[in-house]
Every structure is written in structure tokens, then in C-alpha cells.
Chains A and B, each alone.
Chain A
């Protein structure tokens, strides 16, 4: 029965009362006058906040240095905190730097003829080394604002497995000529400064140059440090064990690059090269250089790249941890949202509702808007409070990864939106099934269980990845705190104390949940219209 076939009887004084605003008001009145639902909402906010703070405290009672040594008592963990890059992200900025000051505009050109290195041999640190390179071992030329770790830079480099790259300010990464460098197949690199702009070029023969990229480094000082560098990230052989454990080794590696045909233009007042280890206290401190004639061999270790959670072995956390209460809040809200419609069926109130407002689609829409808005506000309050207070509780006890305000906003608003959409999904499933226990079970099994199976439990990696892509649990990607960088090798896992790396990007994962909710609402609408109440 649709509104088009039968015109409902309406007494004269009732005209105008069928407006959507009245319908919304009616549904809101139904919601707020049921004490159990309001209590359920409060419980959702409180458990979300409470569990989040528990996560903050429970993760931070032991503040050990990343090498596994004893806690540095009294100093907190600030002593081992990585530097912060120009974009506000945590970075690793340790490398061997053969440098000269460059005043004003100028350029530097080199030829790289080899990149070799040493990686740990055997099964663990301290058992010797063998020749080899980690995939992102890098060496080349760099123009950097200062020798201060975390300062702005732009660099042209050769890498072990990823060809020639231009990288800037830790997060910028542009690919150039592919392939490994050898004496028979050398690479030419050039960096040119003009004002705040640094342009990178590469060439295979030193005559035909290709522009790789051009970056503007805001506030670059008049005098910069420019020269040759070498860095080699830690060797990692980690596998995600079944059951969530991680096993493997992380040990320093080193690389050596050979440069010749070094030429400079512009004002280089020092006239001679200085070799320094940048950021030695954070990296492993392996490095040096050897100059013979026009030939330089530079050896370095460490990395010039962002740091991501889990890289250092898990003694750090992100704001994602403070949002762990989302699961508890979700369960409470799923119960309330499902009952928002199933209680009407149980009590027979649905017949009154549909008599008063025969256009059934509008009833469902009004209910969805009311429960969605209520859930969004509750989620927003709880998530914001959990992130703010959780950060305060954890800071000083354990290293909390810095995230930009925008990312924090996405995490909090995304969590609230996730809860709102799940509430609408629960309402739709409740409309379909009419039974509250069935609706609650279905929705919890759809969103909480896949997360449990994919992140915590025994599922093999392939199945876990698949589960976190297609089920509504994909939406938990909105809680990811630190982005995944292609130029950083790490175990990007969704679980653990500091990860939140899902197979899908934050909003793409959220879209998967929205798709589920949209299908559920559509089916609920069809059933609501076709079936007798």
C-alpha cells in the first residue's frame, strides 16, 4: 500500500500536521521519553570514554627505551622522542652528511657510480654482517635548511630497489629513472636552488638532463647546508605472527655510495668539505667518508623519512588507542537504535505511528535522522573527550605520535560518523527483522566480529585483509592516525598498540560502511512498504 493509491482520511484541524518537521519532532519525543534509551546513550558515552582512558593508562606504565633497555627514570620518554619534521610529523633524520654551506642560489651536480652496503647476517643483531642493501638504502645530494634534525630539505638520491628519487621534507617522494646504479650504468644527479624553490634533475650521461621535480621550501634560510649524503634504514625481517604477535629482527644496516664529477655553482664560501653525522643520538651512528682526488666514498646509516608506529617495536602509541572504546559505545548504541524500531513492533505502537503518518518511507527517514543525529552527537562528545584526555594521560609516560589537527579532527568526526551510520544500519536491520535480539546480533556480528577476526584473532593475513575490506569493519580505517608511506618499510598492521593501518584509506573504508547502511535502508524501506505492520 502506497500513499499514491489510498488517500488517508485526515480531519480538517489536522492539516499541516503531516509535515516532516512534525514527524521528526514526534520521533525525537519518542526517543527522549524512553528512559532506558537515554540511559543507554549515556552508557555508550561513558564506556567509550572510560575504555579509551583505560587504553591510555594501560599502554603507558612502562616507558622503555626503544632498544629494550631499562626505563630512563625521571626523564619520561621525551628523551627518546624522534624529531618533528616541517609538516608536524614524527621523523627520522639521521644520516652521514658531507657538506658545505651554500649562500643564496646555486646548484650541485654529482655522478654516482655505485651503491653497496652491509646488512645483518644470520638471525639477529650481533651475529655479524654480510653484503647487501635494504630496499630503501639511499645516497645522493641534499640541500638542507640546517644541520638540525627535522629541518627542511630537498634531495636527489639513488636507492637500492626504487631507482632514482627526489624527496623533500620527509613526506615528499617522486620517482625518476628506475633501476640500480652500477659503474657501467651510473646516475647523474643535480639540485638547483632558486629562492625558496629547489629543482631536482637526473641524467644517465651528464649531458641530457630531465627535471624530476620542483619543490618550494617555505622559509629556507639564506645560507643552507648542501652536499653528499648516505643513509640506510634499519634491516627488518618481521612477520605478523598468527594471533597478533610479531616476531623477527630489527637491526642497523649501512650503505656506501661512490660519487665523482662533483661540481658546484653559486657561492660556497667554505671551500672544503666537512663530514658530520646528523642526528647521531637517534640513529645508530655508523658513518664516514673518504675523499681521493675527485672521488668520494660516503658511508651512512639511519634514514631521512617519516617514522611510523610499530617501527620501533611498539613502545609508542597513537591517538587510535584512545578510541578503543568505540566498540563498547557501538554495542550500546546498536542496542538502542535497534530497539528504536523493534520496540514499536513489540508494543504495537507501529500501527499508531503508521496510521498517523501513512507515508512509511518518511517515518523511516525521520527515525533514521533522529537516531543518526543522536548517535553522532554522542559519538562526537565521547571521541573528542577520549582523544583529549587520553593524550594528556599518556603524554609524559609513553611516546604519543604527533598528528595534525586535521587528522585528529578526521579521527574524531569520523568515529562519530561511523557510530551514526552504524546506528542507522541497526535501525534498518531492526525494521527488516522486527526482532530486537536478532537485529542486535546481526549488526554486532557484522561490524565488531570482523574487526576481532581481522585484527586480533587467528585469521591468516590474506583472509584478514579481505575481511577488513568488504565488511562494515572497514570503516574503522577512519581512526588511522599516521599515514602509510610507500617510502618507509614497516609492518603496517591494523592492530596493536599503535597501528590502525587498514587495507583501505580512511574515507574509502567509511564508504564501505555507508554502502552497507544504504543497502540495508533500501531493503528496510521496501519491506516496510510491502508488509503489514
Chain B
């Protein structure tokens, strides 16, 4: 009685891509993610000054990319809705009837979502860096003060920019994993935003330097955003790529949990 199983994952990818792109909200939300990321980054850059004669402890790349803090929430929402909408409408039963290999379904969703996050993230990050370059150079961040013009040709800036794009993709995967595990969109987005935002807030009030550092090392957002640092690398709680690795571990764990729940439970 088994249905013929697709030989490759290409049809699954195609199906997920069709489902995702034909939901009007996906496009709007991704546009919102780009717009909000650029807007917050521009506002932060517009308010950052390096007055003449002072030593500024400002990381221009990090300031320009502040918008990721907000943009990630919208990306998380897109990823959560990709799976929880299927549960709330009953679509998941059709999906799983058509493609009984559940892991493949999840993998296809993960591929489509990370592709979308990478695309939206690239636009948002490039626009943010460009805005930061134009604004900050007029606010005292000039070679006179020891700042080079914000440029992707400068390898730490390239790392911050590319890392921020990867960060958004990993946030999408983390959200997909959580949403697959808990199914309900509100609970899933609550858990994802709680995981992201609570670590830095709690770490901030913990006075003990040791614990503070550990909290920042394990928090998906605090560790992941270490990738945005281009100055003061020695004072970071975790090195840039290791930090992104921590977020990757969170995303992998969430996808694993989601995959297990998807395989073991009835839809």
C-alpha cells in the first residue's frame, strides 16, 4: 500500500518552494525583514558620532548591522509560519501523504527557508553596510580618527557582513526546528524570541563576570552576533566564528528535535 517514494529530493524541494512562494505573507514578511533591518541600522548609524579629539570605542560595522537584532524576529516568523501554517490548516496531512519521507520534507523546508533567508539577508546586509558607510563617514569615522571607510574589501567587515547573512539563515533553521517540535505558531515564536532575547538580558544583570561570560557564550544571539565584531576582538566572550558555531549547534539541536517529533508523532 506504500506510495511510490520520490527517488530524489528535487520534487520535495520544488513542492516546498511552490508552497512558500505562493503564500503572499512570505514575500511581504521578507520585505519587512529587509526594510526593518536597514531602517534600524541606518537610525543607529545616524545617531552615532565620533567627536573630534576623542577616542571612540565604536565598532562601525556592528553599529551599521544593529538592524539584524530586529530583522531576525521577522525571519524567525517566516520560518515558524512555514511549518505551523501547515499544522493549523491541516495541509501537513496532504504534504506527508504526498511525501511520506518526513525527514526529506523537513530537509526541503530547511533548504528553501535558508535560501530565502540568505537572499533577504544579503540584500539587507549590503544595504545596511552601504548606509553605514555613507552616514558614518560624515560623523567623524574617518581615517583621521583611525577608522577606515566601511568597505567589504576590509576582511573583518566582510566577515561581519557575510556572518550576519549566515546568522539570519541559522535563525531561520532554529525557528523551523522549534516550530516543527511544538507545532503551534504562537508558542514557537515565543520560544524562539525568548531564546534569542533572554540570554543577553539575563547576562546583563548577572554581576558575576564568570557567569556573565558563560551566558554570553551559550546564548544563540549573544554568541552568534559575535560575528559582527570588527574591533576589540580580544574582549569578546567568544571568537566570531566559534560564536556562529554555537548558533549553528542550537539550530542543529532544534532541527533534530523537530525531525524526531515529526517522525514519531502523528500529524
Cβ of A441 under 8 Å from chain B: yes
CB contact between B186 and one of A321, A440, A453 (< 8 Å): that residue: A440
| Contact residues in B for A244 (Cβ distance below 8 Å) | 204
Known: A339-B186, A437-B84, A440-B190. Is A324-B47 also a contact (CB below 8 A)?
Answer: no
* Cβ contacts B50-92/A at 8 Å (1 or 0 each): 0000000111001100100110011011001100100010000
CB distance from A377 to the nearest CB of B (A): 20
Q: What DSSP secondary structure best describes chain A's contact surface?
A: helix
Interface residues on A, range: 35 or more
**Please, how many angstroms separate the alpha-carbon atoms of A496 and B205 in the complex?**
5
Known: A59-B206, A314-B207, A463-B44. Is A335-B197 also a contact (CB below 8 A)?
Answer: no
| Stretch from A20-28, A99-107, A202-210, A454-462 forming part of the interface with B | A454-462
Please state if A448 and B193 are interface contacts (CB–CB under 8 Å). yes
Please state if B189 and A437 are interface contacts (CB–CB under 8 Å). yes
| Contact residues in B for A247 (Cβ distance below 8 Å) | 57
Please state if A58 and B206 are interface contacts (CB–CB under 8 Å). yes
| Contact residues in B for A448 (Cβ distance below 8 Å) | 193, 197, 201
Please state if B77 and A438 are interface contacts (CB–CB under 8 Å). yes
Please state if A497 and B205 are interface contacts (CB–CB under 8 Å). yes
With CB as the reference atom, state the residue of chain B lying closest to A61.
Answer: B208
**Please, how many angstroms separate the alpha-carbon atoms of A422 and B24 in the complex?**
29
| Contact residues in A for B189 (Cβ distance below 8 Å) | 335, 437, 440-441, 444
Cβ of A346 under 8 Å from chain B: yes
Cβ of B200 under 8 Å from chain A: yes
**Please, how many angstroms separate the alpha-carbon atoms of A315 and B209 in the complex?**
11
Please state if A55 and B190 are interface contacts (CB–CB under 8 Å). no
Cβ of A436 under 8 Å from chain B: yes
Q: Which of B49, B69, B74, B190 is most buried by chain A, counting CB atoms within 10 A of its CB?
A: B190
Please state if B204 and A60 are interface contacts (CB–CB under 8 Å). no
CB distance from A242 to the nearest CB of B (A): 6
Cβ of B202 under 8 Å from chain A: yes
With CB as the reference atom, state the residue of chain B lying closest to A342.
Answer: B186
Please state if A449 and B57 are interface contacts (CB–CB under 8 Å). no
| Contact residues in A for B186 (Cβ distance below 8 Å) | 335, 338-339, 342, 436-437, 439-440
A residues within 8 Å of B by Cβ? 36, 40, 51, 54-55, 58-62, 241-242, 244, 247, 314-315, 317, 320-321, 324, 327-328, 331-332, 334-335, 338-339, 342, 346, 398, 435-441, 444-445, 448-449, 451-453, 455-460, 462-463, 495-498
B residues within 8 Å of A by Cβ? 43-44, 47-49, 57-59, 62-63, 66, 69-70, 73-74, 76-77, 80-81, 84, 88, 184-190, 193-194, 197-198, 200-208, 210-212
